A and B are shown apart, each in its own frame.
Chain A
């Protein structure tokens, strides 16, 4: 299998020594996961539980004329049926106005249709019955009369003159003067620096091209599932897997018209999310059914429902233009992105605009983004939302530029790399970042100089993601025997509990085996923003470090009491309270102090409720080798190396795992994945056979290099790592195929039929 050392590498720029952080411990929740004991969303049962089923629209675009539930209600075993009318009416201006604008009107409409349906699979009613079979039969008995409208399935169809309008109240935002007519174009965003037209005039070489990508799904293996239970006093309990139990609570409370304090959400283990579980689908339905039936209701989606009716990410088109001097200095960059928002406004096109050119030092750049609604499911976040498609365009254009300049594409990037002080296209100057270091690591990597054979090509591409901080809370509780519990409010998608334990261990000075990290429900820990945005190891980690420090300070106070000295005589070393001056006082371990906790003031704990700022951006550079089969159009990925600035890898194995997982999702996006709709707007590939994600036999090992340029905004140098890995692969793969095939592939996925068509063009 080759040189292990070479394949998984860490390049540390901090020179800092840690005792526990950076070690590869066994994750604390692992035993349950390898034995099948861990409880995911569909694994709960409640006493007297009923089973729910959803009635879904077979039409992509239609008015609901009537819904008749009589036959369904009469079926033996059916206990409740709900439609949109059972939910509180929402106002078109109903928004959660906070950092991100969430339209409750749109969300409520998406969860269950009101007057119109907007995509094949849109929920219109739901039933609860004594068995899944009866619930499914009852769902088939609900009679819905539709007034079928012409579906709008693409950006071209949506923006054509006289296109059917999805939403009468939507006017294009971001344009002046504000339009008065309804449109399918929901928003325009623009970011610019300098004077891009004047700058292009100075270029020796200009590359300009159009690109396209298709709708792809996050593809988590666990379908959405929940159990909801209500009591006659109005309390609601929900067991579900999600990326945020507090998010589920907030959205359910709002959409069902219940006070927040009456809703308790208990997080199950989550079987993948990637952004797709940062919203709710089944929970409000299960709650309303449970209320009506007076019994708990379990709802589980099947795979077809997941693909038809949960947020994929936006497909889109992009035009990228780059200009450079003969020596490879970039002088100007421009992109125009148009993304499909799906059934309701809100694609991540603005984020695409902000991230596309971020790895490069450009004083003149313009990025314009359009958000367009179409009759597809409402787009939900997918790992670095908006960035992969923008990077596909920019990184492909740079590859073509390198070819035009007869320049090594890595050297082209090196020459123009963003560094500390570079102004990003969205105007903010970078602090300490590690992009150049990833390029340097790529240059040194044996992959970059390995020989290639016939029909083979090598692609390189870079990518950027901001990473966020946000509100996180942590409690560190010391047990009577000196072991410790670390409670946080963030679902663990990728192994974050292991990292929380490692960070607490570093502060407390004790082995992770004595630390139990747990993910608490909404009534057991203060509010935490959801798991996403690559924020948990950074922000929740910061909270854990501060809470552990708080606990250490509490234990120092207790030790001072036990020794009858001043607190400033007490230091903390190697998991013990140590008295500075006196030889009479032997060090006290956590267990020693805990044993006397009742006498020294009560239970020992520390806490931290923070809104973490100082998140450091992540840059990645990926190298991909492919072989093209000119007869079948099949692309085989021969070799793949993912290099990323990760700040500080708290648990290197799980950081490597993020790079590998994100890279493979990107490979799937580039080569095979796409939604296929027929002319009626019905989704044709509703299962994993035809929605083709990468399988083990498609891939080689994914080598990784963790570059550690510490983020000054975190005590241990942590940068978010989860999202950046999906940003470079689309272009890394496309650039490799383009070089192998000796022509530019600009339309994804590069599936065999598309590649054969491109090759046949001579």
Chain B
């Protein structure tokens, strides 16, 4: 089961403030679907202005990136630049 870490604000709104969750899924899309089953509406919220870091790698436009059983999946604010 991958370790998923939600942003604090999202956790507070959808998951009673709990940021860390163990979730099953072979790619990001499956992970988000599984999260949405547990916390309805969270997938919409996560699709807005969020990047994801899978282990050390940050993905700004995430969709089907592979996730393994011992991955850490961390949702972050999207990073703009100047």
Residue of B nearest to A102 (CB): B49
Which of A2-10, A399-407, A527-535, A631-639 contacts the other chain? A527-535
Contacts of B8 in A (CB 8 A): 190-192
- Size class of the B contact interface (CB-based, 8 Å): 20 to 34
Do B60 and A468 have beta carbons less than 8 Å apart? yes
Residue of B nearest to A275 (CB): B82
Contacts of A713 in B (CB 8 A): 57
Contacts of A717 in B (CB 8 A): none
Identify 9 residue pairs between A and B in the complex whose beta-carbon atoms are under 8 Å apart, listed by A's number: A97-B47, A99-B49, A99-B51, A100-B49, A351-B80, A354-B77, A382-B82, A466-B58, A535-B81
Contacts of B57 in A (CB 8 A): 431, 613-614, 713
Contacts of B48 in A (CB 8 A): 95, 97, 101
Contacts of B53 in A (CB 8 A): 427-428
Within 8 A of A (CB), among B34-80: 47-51, 53, 55-61, 74, 76-80
Within 8 A of B (CB), among A590-637: 611, 613-615
- Considering the chains assembled together, what is the distance between the CA atoms of A489 and B81 in angstroms? 17
Shortest C-beta distance, B52 to chain A (Å), equals 10
Contacts of A694 in B (CB 8 A): none
- Considering the chains assembled together, what is the distance between the CA atoms of A573 and B51 in angstroms? 40
Do A428 and B79 have beta carbons less than 8 Å apart? no
Shortest C-beta distance, B60 to chain A (Å), equals 5
Shortest C-beta distance, A666 to chain B (Å), equals 13
Do B82 and A381 have beta carbons less than 8 Å apart? yes
Given contacts A613-B57, A615-B58, A384 and B82 within 8 Å (CB-CB): yes
Shortest C-beta distance, B45 to chain A (Å), equals 11
A723 close to B (CB within 8 Å): yes
User: Which residue of A97, A188, A381, A471 is within 8 Å of B9 (Cβ)?
Assistant: A188
Do A613 and B59 have beta carbons less than 8 Å apart? yes
Known contacts A351-B80, A427-B5, then 11 further A-B pairs from the complex at CB < 8 Å, ordered by chain A residue: A188-B9, A190-B9, A384-B82, A426-B76, A470-B60, A470-B61, A533-B82, A534-B81, A535-B81, A614-B57, A723-B81
B21 close to A (CB within 8 Å): no
Q: How many residues of A contact B (CB 8 A)?
A: 51
A719 close to B (CB within 8 Å): no
Residue of A nearest to B76 (CB): A426
Interface residues of B (CB under 8 A from A): 5, 8-9, 12-13, 17, 47-51, 53, 55-61, 74, 76-82
Do B74 and A532 have beta carbons less than 8 Å apart? no
Do B60 and A174 have beta carbons less than 8 Å apart? no
Shortest C-beta distance, A15 to chain B (Å), equals 24
- Considering the chains assembled together, what is the distance between the CA atoms of A383 and B82 in angstroms? 4
Do B76 and A611 have beta carbons less than 8 Å apart? no
- Considering the chains assembled together, what is the distance between the CA atoms of A132 and B56 in angstroms? 54
User: Which residue of B47, B55, B58, B74 is within 8 Å of A613 (Cβ)?
Assistant: B58
Shortest C-beta distance, A419 to chain B (Å), equals 13
Do B81 and A99 have beta carbons less than 8 Å apart? no
Within 8 A of B (CB), among A453-477: 466-471
A429 close to B (CB within 8 Å): yes
Do B12 and A532 have beta carbons less than 8 Å apart? no
Contacts of B77 in A (CB 8 A): 189, 350-351, 354
Do B56 and A431 have beta carbons less than 8 Å apart? yes
Given contacts A275-B82, A427-B76, A532-B81, A99 and B60 within 8 Å (CB-CB): yes
- Considering the chains assembled together, what is the distance between the CA atoms of A13 and B79 in angstroms? 28
Contacts of A348 in B (CB 8 A): 80
Shortest C-beta distance, B35 to chain A (Å), equals 17
- Considering the chains assembled together, what is the distance between the CA atoms of A560 and B13 in angstroms? 62
User: Which residue of B5, B60, B76, B82 is within 8 Å of A274 (Cβ)?
Assistant: B82
Within 8 A of B (CB), among A84-99: 95, 97-99
Contacts of B61 in A (CB 8 A): 98-99, 470-471, 611
- Considering the chains assembled together, what is the distance between the CA atoms of A335 and B31 in angstroms? 32
Given contacts A173-B9, A427-B76, A381 and B81 within 8 Å (CB-CB): yes
- Considering the chains assembled together, what is the distance between the CA atoms of A535 and B76 in angstroms? 19
Do B79 and A468 have beta carbons less than 8 Å apart? yes
Residue of B nearest to A243 (CB): B82
Contacts of B81 in A (CB 8 A): 275, 381, 384-385, 467-468, 532-535, 723
Q: Chain A, 500-544, contact with B by CB distance < 8 Å: what is the 0/1 string?
A: 000000000000000000000000000000001111000000000
A278 close to B (CB within 8 Å): yes
Shortest C-beta distance, B36 to chain A (Å), equals 16
A176 close to B (CB within 8 Å): yes
A430 close to B (CB within 8 Å): yes
User: Which residue of A101, A383, A428 is within 8 Å of B74 (Cβ)?
Assistant: A428
Contacts of B58 in A (CB 8 A): 428, 466, 613, 615
Given contacts A429-B56, A613-B57, A100 and B78 within 8 Å (CB-CB): yes
Shortest C-beta distance, A92 to chain B (Å), equals 15
Contacts of B82 in A (CB 8 A): 218, 274-276, 278, 381-385, 532-533, 723
Shortest C-beta distance, A91 to chain B (Å), equals 16
Given contacts A99-B51, A99-B61, A189-B9, A466 and B56 within 8 Å (CB-CB): no
Contacts of B17 in A (CB 8 A): 176
Residue of A nearest to B60 (CB): A99
User: Which residue of A351, A431, A471 is within 8 Å of B79 (Cβ)?
Assistant: A351
- Considering the chains assembled together, what is the distance between the CA atoms of A611 and B63 in angstroms? 12
Contacts of A429 in B (CB 8 A): 55-56
Within 8 A of B (CB), among A372-386: 381-385
Q: Chain A, 162-181, contact with B by CB distance < 8 Å: what is the 0/1 string?
A: 00000000000110101000
Contacts of B76 in A (CB 8 A): 354, 426-428
Do B74 and A427 have beta carbons less than 8 Å apart? yes
Residue of A nearest to B82 (CB): A275
Contacts of B51 in A (CB 8 A): 99
Shortest C-beta distance, A194 to chain B (Å), equals 13
User: Which residue of B12, B13, B74, B80 is within 8 Å of A100 (Cβ)?
Assistant: B80
Contacts of A430 in B (CB 8 A): 56
- Considering the chains assembled together, what is the distance between the CA atoms of A274 and B59 in angstroms? 23
Q: Chain A, 330-357, contact with B by CB distance < 8 Å: what is the 0/1 string?
A: 0000000000000000001011001000
Contacts of A188 in B (CB 8 A): 9
Contacts of B74 in A (CB 8 A): 427-428
Do A428 and B59 have beta carbons less than 8 Å apart? no
Interface centre among B13, B48, B60 (most CB of A within 10 A): B60
Contacts of B12 in A (CB 8 A): 176
Contacts of A470 in B (CB 8 A): 60-61
Shortest C-beta distance, A756 to chain B (Å), equals 33
Residue of A nearest to B55 (CB): A429
Interface centre among B48, B51, B76, B77 (most CB of A within 10 A): B77
Contacts of A354 in B (CB 8 A): 76-77
Shortest C-beta distance, B18 to chain A (Å), equals 13
Residue of A nearest to B8 (CB): A190
- Considering the chains assembled together, what is the distance between the CA atoms of A348 and B79 in angstroms? 9
- Considering the chains assembled together, what is the distance between the CA atoms of A469 and B60 in angstroms? 8
Residue of A nearest to B80 (CB): A100
Contacts of B59 in A (CB 8 A): 613
- Considering the chains assembled together, what is the distance between the CA atoms of A468 and B55 in angstroms? 17
Contacts of A218 in B (CB 8 A): 82
Contacts of A174 in B (CB 8 A): 9
Within 8 A of B (CB), among A529-573: 532-535
Closest 6 CB pairs of A and B: A533-B81, A275-B82, A381-B82, A101-B49, A174-B9, A99-B78
Residue of B nearest to A173 (CB): B9
- Considering the chains assembled together, what is the distance between the CA atoms of A97 and B79 in angstroms? 14
Contacts of A535 in B (CB 8 A): 81
